[in-house]
Structures are given as structure tokens and as C-alpha cells.
Amino acid sequence: MDARSLMQAAEEVARKSGDVALGFFRQGVTVDTKGDGTPVTVADRTAEKTAREWIESRFPEDGILGEEFGETRPGARRRWILDPIDGTKTFIRGVPLWGTLVAVTEGETILAGAAYFPPVGEMLVAAPGQGCWWNGKRTKVSAEAELSRALVLTTDERFLTYPQRGAAWRGLAAKASVSRTWGDCYGYLMLATGRAEVMVDELMSPWDAAALQPIIEEAGGVFTDWTGKRTAFGGNCIATNAVLAEQVRELLGAKGT
């Protein structure tokens, strides 16, 4: 299956499952707590089931890894990685800055990624060599080269797991024009569409990051972990436009790109 077809498939399943999640948004759903202490709702589970059913009906030999229901066919050559609601804490508070993420991978090579933002009606889809598309039009990261004019974003500025990274982040933020916590996947939407210059996360699972790597890179940005390695599987992320990439990683203590 070619890259363009995989992009279209990822976009379709992201839209279908995201629209299911949207049907529960601001409806007062019950919130449960998972074993890792994070929240989950019927919206997360129903949206992921929708995505899985769609994939199973069309790609029955492919593996699936989802945040809510784990892994299916772990030995499959090709795998779909799903996050039905990236930003559940945001979702349950009625804030519209959440999204649905879908990636298609072979090993750690990401073949296509889609990020759908149902409450605000925005879709990003990308594949290596195919560009990044925002609501059907090509999109690019900004060309802003001055950190003093940049908008920098993170999901949680407390950096509770890695306080030393928090200190580095605060140093970076102090040099920027604006610092905000428009985080989770929404921050990467802002970056990919040229509305922000930096997005940083101290903790990310594969389903948080896999769809976003090709989106940022095909929009002309740089996507690495906190060691400077180009990967969506490093457990964290520093994403930037191209011209600020080296400076930002130096300020954050990353080793390079």
C-alpha cells in the first residue's frame, strides 16, 4: 500500500473515532482511574473500539497498539498505533484542545500519521515524502529565527518527573516572547501550522508521539527526544521549527539533532 493511501486511511480512521469521542464531549461522562493513575472515560474506550473495528475490517493482518486496549498481533509487520483521546484530562474538563491520533508503522519507521481535533475542526495528516496537510492544504512550520519572538509550548510546566528538565524549560521560556501550556497534541498542531515555534513534553508514550513525528517533519520541523535522537519512541519530545532547532536543544540540554 503506497504512502498516499496510508495517509488517507489514517485520516479516515482518525476522523471516525474522533467524531465518536466528540459525541461524548461536555456530556458529563463518568471518569475512571486506570492502574497508572491516569483518567479514562467511556469516550476513550468507545472511540478506540471504533478505530479498531475499522482497522480489523480493512487490514486484518496488521497489528494494533492502542492506549486503552493494548496490543493485538504484536508480531505483525505493519502496526497501527492509536490514541483515541490525546488530552483526556483536557477533555473531561470541557476544554476543546484535545485530539485523536493515528499512526501506521513498520517497526519504528512511521509510514503515515493523522491528528484530528474534533472540537475545533482541524485535521493534520502526513507521510514521509508526501508533505504535511492541514484541512486539505499544505502546511509549514514558521520561519521565525528569533527566540525572543517565539511562542513556546509545553503540556505541564511543572515537569514533576524530571525537575532538571523543568529548570531548563523555564530558562528557555524566559527567553521567548510567549510561553503557554496549550499542550498535549494541540501544541504540535500549533507548531505544524506555523502558529508556535517550540513544543516540549517530558513524558510521551508511543501512542502520544508516533502520529506527530511525520506531521512535524513533513511540515519542515525537527522532532527528537530529549537526547536529540530523531525518534517517536524515546519517551519524551522536543519539537521545533527548523531554524530554532539547534538553539532550543542546546538550551534544553539535548545532545544534538
pLDDT band at 257 (very low <50, low <70, confident <90, very high): very low
- Rounded distance between C-alpha atoms, residue 221 and residue 41, angstroms: 33
Average pLDDT rounded to a whole number, residues 77-102? 98
Average pLDDT, the chain: 97
Give the amino acid at 99: G
What local confidence, expressed as pLDDT, does residue 255 receive?
A: 67
Give the separation between CA 149 and CA 151, rounded to whole angstroms.
7
- Which residue shows C-alpha cell 506531521? 215
DSSP, collapsed to helix, strand or coil, labels residue 115 as strand
Alpha-carbon gap, residue 64 to 13, rounded angstroms: 13
Please give the average per-residue pLDDT across 70-75, as a whole number.
96
Q: How confident is the model at residue 18, as a pLDDT? A: 98
Pairing type for strands 137-138 and 131-134 reads antiparallel
DSSP string covering 152-186, please? EEES-TT-SS-HHHHHHHHHHHHHSSEEE---THH
Q: What percentage of the chain carries pLDDT values higher than 70?
A: 99
How far apart CA 241 and CA 3 sit, in angstroms, is 24
- Mean of pLDDT values over 238-245: 98
3-class secondary-structure state, position 220: coil
